[in-house]
Chains A and B, each alone.
Chain A
């Protein structure tokens, strides 16, 4: 009788083990997954919201001065250089395209393409800054200074703030390029994506400012 019970227990044991194993699998705590939205992306969105509102305030002030004045620009002050600024705009838009190309290269796993794209973007951004700086020097020589009424004040405040942002973006770009050279970007595109979004924001913002201030 006892031998019979033992045999039944032995025969049932694998079934019980299988059932326990299945229960353990069902009740198993799932492994921790990465959040759907990374902290870097949320931080970039918050930064862009703050930047947009900051520039909205500046544009609001500019609208009051420009639309509230009968003659703009004032007769005794020089007109802004349109042709050179058009070329500069093309350079900045091209830098946006090369930045997107760098991001695509990183997603393909093309490290050299990534570095090349970042370097070209940085050179185009620096070109934009240098050309704008040289135009500012010419404007100052022609009498358009920061203290030359609301025209000069609003122009240098708006365009200068944007130039400071481009400079910051170029520094950021240099950091990302440095990380790309050391191979620290492979597999994790958070820094690169954040830099790309910020660069595109700066490019899009320039289109708005160019249409508003230079036309």
Chain B
């Protein structure tokens, strides 16, 4: 059984250049047309539907960050609150007088 070779520096550089080239060659126009509804509505800024789409997109974009931050903070708070405090013996072992 042969072991896989660890990629060397030249391989990393070539891979990064290839990825950068692929990204640069992606036509921007096709990215903007990813969703036909968005392209149609959001092209006209005065349309109330365009504003509604923008607000909804901003809301849905922000929610995962809000939810993950809140849930993570809550978990950390519960963990710190319920962690048992060190005993006197443990403090003495650590040299805390």
Q: Is A161 an interface residue (CB 8 A)?
A: no
State whether A67 and B52 are in contact (beta carbons under 8 Å apart), knowing that A36-B83, A37-B79, A56-B59 are contacts in the complex.
yes
Contacts of A70 in B (CB 8 A): 48
Interface residues on A, range: 20 to 34
Q: Would you call B60 and A64 a contact (CB within 8 A)?
A: no
Within A64-121, the residues touching B (CB, 8 Å) are 64-70
Q: Would you call A45 and B74 a contact (CB within 8 A)?
A: yes
Q: Would you call A52 and B52 a contact (CB within 8 A)?
A: no
Contacts of B75 in A (CB 8 A): 37, 42, 45
* Minimum C-beta distance from A53 to chain B (A): 6
* Minimum C-beta distance from A21 to chain B (A): 16
Q: Would you call A64 and B78 a contact (CB within 8 A)?
A: no
Q: Would you call A64 and B74 a contact (CB within 8 A)?
A: no
Q: Would you call B68 and A49 a contact (CB within 8 A)?
A: yes
Number of interface residues of B (CB under 8 A): 22
Q: Would you call B67 and A53 a contact (CB within 8 A)?
A: yes
> Which residue on chain A has the smallest CB distance to residue B62?
A56
Binding site for A on B (CB under 8 A): 48-49, 51-53, 55-57, 59-60, 63-64, 67-68, 71, 74-75, 78-79, 82-84
Q: Is A133 an interface residue (CB 8 A)?
A: no
Contacts of B79 in A (CB 8 A): 36-37
Contacts of A68 in B (CB 8 A): 48-49, 51-53
* Minimum C-beta distance from B73 to chain A (A): 11
Q: Is A57 an interface residue (CB 8 A)?
A: yes
Q: Which of B59, B67, B78 contacts A60 (CB 8 A)?
A: B59
* Minimum C-beta distance from A87 to chain B (A): 29
> Which residue on chain B has the smallest CB distance to residue A51?
B67
Within A37-61, the residues touching B (CB, 8 Å) are 37, 41-42, 45, 48-49, 52-53, 56-57, 59-61
